[in-house]
């Protein structure tokens, strides 16, 4: 029986291209994965984090950094700003803004400030413009005089450039009042505060920013035992309230 003769096939010089093509494919897949990791989608990150957190004990996911894709691409770790630090920054910026406005109001009412009829102060609550009632109203009246309109228009021109809340408080002394218009100091103080607010609204301040409060004689700044003290207590206080960041907290029904 004749023996079959096997002839070796010649070795192809192009077999290396198969391995080279496989290597290029793997490298391409690797770079695609790296690019996908470097481009973080915030919404997908939050959904994935919330799902993982709920699966492992109901933990809430942290917010994804706003510049996460840029930071990751540059090889830097995104900095996480604590809530306390962010709140302090907001308070500092708001305080600086308030200080500038207080100076503008003080400059607009320089003549009345020098006479002791107007007092401008700043505190954590905001800016307080204390105007003696003798500048604004006749005794026992709530109708503004001409001098009052000039002063209030100057204050309104400064405040209407801002968006902080404005609270106008009317104050009286402890001497009772009883007439057809005002049965007590409560009505007198409230109407006086409303008269000031009407001027602010006429000058372009939005109605949703202003609030009128009647305090009557409950918050004196001087003794009511002297005529000078009672005159000091008869006043209108315009408050430009500072924006204090706060987070509402629900109070549980049970301890």
Which run of H or of E encompasses 146? helix 146-159
- What gap in Å lies between CA 74 and CA 85, rounded to an integer? 25
The partner residues of 236 in beta bridges, in order of sequence, read 131, 170
Tell me 131's DSSP state: E
**Under 8 Å CB-to-CB from 124, ≥6 apart: which residues?**
242, 244
Assigned token pair, 98: 């308030």
pTM of the model: 0.64
Domain residue limits, the chain: 16-73, 85-241
**Under 8 Å CB-to-CB from 185, ≥6 apart: which residues?**
172, 173, 174, 176, 177, 216, 217
Q: How many residues does the chain have?
A: 255
Return per-residue pLDDT of the chain as tens, 255 residues.
Answer: 566 655 555 655 566 677 778 888 888 887 777 776 665 566 655 665 666 566 555 555 454 444 544 554 555 555 556 667 776 777 788 888 889 999 999 999 999 999 999 999 998 889 999 999 999 999 889 999 988 899 999 999 999 988 999 999 999 999 999 888 999 999 999 999 999 999 999 999 999 999 999 999 999 999 999 999 999 999 999 999 987 656 666 777 775
Q: Determine the topology of domain 85-241 in CATH.
A: 60s Ribosomal Protein L30; Chain: A; (3.30.1330)
């Amino acid at each position: 029986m004749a023996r079959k003769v096997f002839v070796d096939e010649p070795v192809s010089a192009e077999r290396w291209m198969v391995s080279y093509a496989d290597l290029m494919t793997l490298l391409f897949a690797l770079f695609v994965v790296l690019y996908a990791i470097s481009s973080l989608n915030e919404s997908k990150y939050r959904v994935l984090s919330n799902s993982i957190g709920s699966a492992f004990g109901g933990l809430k996911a942290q917010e994804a950094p706003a510049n996460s894709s840029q930071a990751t691409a540059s090889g830097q770790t995104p900095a996480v700003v604590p809530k306390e630090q962010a709140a302090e920054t907001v308070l500092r910026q708001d305080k600086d803004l308030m200080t500038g406005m207080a100076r503008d109001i003080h400059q607009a009412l320089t003549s009345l400030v020098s006479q002791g009829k107007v007092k401008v102060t700043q505190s954590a609550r905001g800016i307080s413009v204390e105007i003696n009632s003798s500048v604004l109203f006749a005794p026992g009246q709530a109708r503004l005089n001409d001098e009052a309109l000039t002063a209030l228009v100057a204050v309104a021109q400064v405040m209407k450039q801002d968006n902080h809340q404005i609270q106008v408080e009317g104050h009286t002394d402890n001497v009772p009042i009883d007439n057809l218009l005002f049965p007590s100091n409560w009505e007198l103080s409230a109407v006086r505060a409303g008269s000031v607010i009407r001027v602010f609204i006429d000058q372009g301040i939005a109605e949703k920013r202003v609030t009128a409060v009647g305090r009557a004689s409950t918050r004196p700044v001087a003794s009511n035992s002297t005529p000078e003290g009672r005159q000091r207590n008869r006043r209108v206080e315009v408050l430009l309230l500072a924006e204090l960041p706060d987070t509402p907290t629900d109070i549980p029904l049970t301890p």
